[in-house]
Structure 1
Amino acid sequence: MLSGKQKRYLRGLAHSLQPIFQVGKGGTNDQLIRHISEALERRELIKVSVLNNNLDDPREIAEELAAGAGAELVQLIGRTIILYKESTEYKQIELP
């Protein structure tokens, strides 16, 4: 579980990132979650955008992706999700 200070730090780092995954009208599936897990192992911090043609609640999508990938939900702004998971092999981010 991340503290408020850690989340604030990660939000600052994520500000300049571009979303690398998009959740469309098909919603989430096992393959998307697997790709997100692999990306989190390499990058530790990623953005995911929920497209406008997806009618599901972005909060539910964010929680499902975080739970499936074993990651922490850092922030949800509108339809943009920020996820963090500490990498075992490629650790780059030192949390305060």
Structure 2
Amino acid sequence: MKALAPAQRQFLKGLAHTRQPVVMIGNQGLTAAVLKEVDHALAAHELVKIKAASNEAEMRRSWLEEICAATGAAPVQQIGKVLVIYRAAAKPVIVLPG
């Protein structure tokens, strides 16, 4: 899991604000299929919003950590049931400050 500088995290939060979730974690929880979709979404978009169906905050925090560990992404933020992660592409489209 990569660490982002505070300025980079703030920049990515601003970009994520207008985006819609592209992956949903349903009642089955975090499955291999969901992780595969997250990986594909990161390859296509770099910055991804994920909607989690769980009402348990600790479960969502755990999923965020697992997703980042499995995909090599960095956590940007978690607001309620929405998780935001970032992973730079081979040819980055998003240029981070600093």
* 1:62-90 alpha-carbon deviations (Å, 9 max, x no partner): 1111111110010001110001000014x
**1:48 maps to 2:67:** no
**1:35 maps to 2:49:** no
What stretches of structure 2 of length at least 5 have no aligned partner?
none
Q: Distance in 1 between matches of 2:26 and 2:48?
A: 17
Q: Tell me the TM-score normalised to structure 1 length.
A: 0.90
What stretches of structure 1 of length at least 5 have no aligned partner?
none
Q: Tell me the TM-score normalised to structure 2 length.
A: 0.89
Q: 1:55 to 1:93 in 2, by over 3 A?
A: closer
How many angstroms does 1:17 deviate by?
A: 0.4
Alpha-carbon contact 1:48-1:82 (below 8 Å) kept: yes
Q: Which of 18, 21, 33 pairs up with 2:20?
A: 18
Q: Distance in 1 between matches of 2:41 and 2:67?
A: 13
How many angstroms does 1:51 deviate by?
A: 1.4
SS in structure 1 opposite 2:93? coil
Q: Percent identity among equivalent residues?
A: 33
- Aligned residue pairs, count: 95
